[in-house]
Amino acid sequence: MSKDSQWIAGINAVASAIEHDADNVREVLLEAGAKNPRIVEIEGNARRVGIEVRRVPQQALDGVAGGLRHQGAVARYAAVKTWDEGELQGLVEAAAGRALVLVLDGVQDPHNLGACLRSAAAAGVTAVVIPKDKAVQVNATVRKTSAGAADSIPVIRATNLARCMRDLQQMGVWIYGLAGEATASLYAIDLRGNVALVLGGEADGLRRLTREHCDQLVRIPMPGQTESLNVSVATGVTLFEAVRQRQG
């Protein structure tokens, strides 16, 4: 397989790619003899838009899926577009004072990153920023979990996250970091205008240097027994509070 393509696996991932981004689907492999209505639907939709479809043995699917649960469907897909840090300013400027940037500081689990990207796409974020090092990158698992979102929104890989945050501030973006010990409530701050929301990784949350480059730390009020939320859940809560405010 060439470097400009990769395999995605799973009925939802393949169906979403065909529906939303058929131009980047190179071919679809389906399990020979499978009568699952979703498989049949995928085959029909793919052929309808001119995508090559092959029925192959399950062992062949196991081989290309690389351990992912393929459910009888995989697709060879164009590699995800790489966004450069230099493109961030143009994205912020194009948002015309309503930029909403999600910064993820060291998320390690590809399922969490995929879920975060899915929420980000649903919330209409301007861009998602992730570190190039010490964090999961957009891979096949992320793309499957994101249900196509990894390909529909700009994901910028920052060489130096602190420097990228400083650049955002110079662009007029106000940066809020999510931290459980913060005194300010997420629901008491103004999330309209140019805003970046920063969430930390699964184990340690925001790193020290990341915290220091936030304009303000805020928390999600949790009156129950649980002291923290999964990063993907916290991302959804935070982004859609911003969406709620921006609709008012």
> What pLDDT, on a 0 to 100 scale, did the predictor assign at position 240?
98
Answer yes or no: is pLDDT of 219 > 50.
yes
Quick check: 169 and 144 in contact, CB under 8 A?
no
d(CA 89, CA 129): 12
> What pLDDT, on a 0 to 100 scale, did the predictor assign at position 135?
92
The domain total for the chain is 2
Residues above pLDDT 70, as percent of the chain: 96
22-45 average pLDDT score:
93
Domain-terminating residue out of 51, 78, 105: 78
Question: In the structure encoding, which two tokens stand for residue 248, read together?
Answer: 């008012």
169 and 227 part of one domain: yes
Kindly list the distances between the CA atom of residue 45 and the CA atoms of 20, 40, 52, 177, in Å, as whole numbers in the listed order: 12, 9, 11, 43
Answer yes or no: is pLDDT of 78 > 90.
no
The CATH number covering residue 21 comes to: 3.30.1330.30
111 and 204 part of one domain: yes
> What pLDDT, on a 0 to 100 scale, did the predictor assign at position 37?
95
Residue that the structure tokens 């979403």 belong to:
16
Position 141 confidence tier, pLDDT thresholds 50, 70, 90: confident
Query: Closest Cα partner for 243 from 191, 165, 178?
Result: 191
Domain-terminating residue out of 78, 98, 125: 78
> What pLDDT, on a 0 to 100 scale, did the predictor assign at position 3?
55
91 and 72 part of one domain: no
- DSSP readout, the chain? --TTEEEEESHHHHHHHHHHHGGGEEEEEEETT---HHHHHHHHHHHHTT-EEEEE-HHHHHHHHTTS--TTEEEEEEPPPPBPGGGHHHHHHHTTT--EEEEEE----HHHHHHHHHHHHHHT-SEEEEESSSS--S-HHHHHHHTTHHHHS-EEEESSHHHHHHHHHHTT-EEEEE-TT-SEEGGGS---SSEEEEEEBTTTBS-HHHHHT-SEEEE----SS-----HHHHHHHHHHHHHHHHT-
Quick check: 6 and 79 in contact, CB under 8 A?
yes
Position 2 confidence tier, pLDDT thresholds 50, 70, 90: very low
What pTM was estimated for this model as a whole? 0.76
Query: Closest Cα partner for 34 from 5, 60, 65?
Result: 60
99 and 66 part of one domain: no
| Residues of the domain holding 110 | 85-246
18 and 128 part of one domain: no
42 and 137 part of one domain: no
Quick check: 116 and 49 in contact, CB under 8 A?
no
Q: What is the tens place of the pLDDT at every residue in 144-199?
A: 788 778 888 999 999 999 999 999 999 999 999 999 889 999 999 999 999 999 99
Q: What is the tens place of the pLDDT at every residue in 83-102?
A: 889 999 999 999 999 999 99
Domain-terminating residue out of 18, 50, 78: 78
> What pLDDT, on a 0 to 100 scale, did the predictor assign at position 248?
65
- The residue type of 31 is E
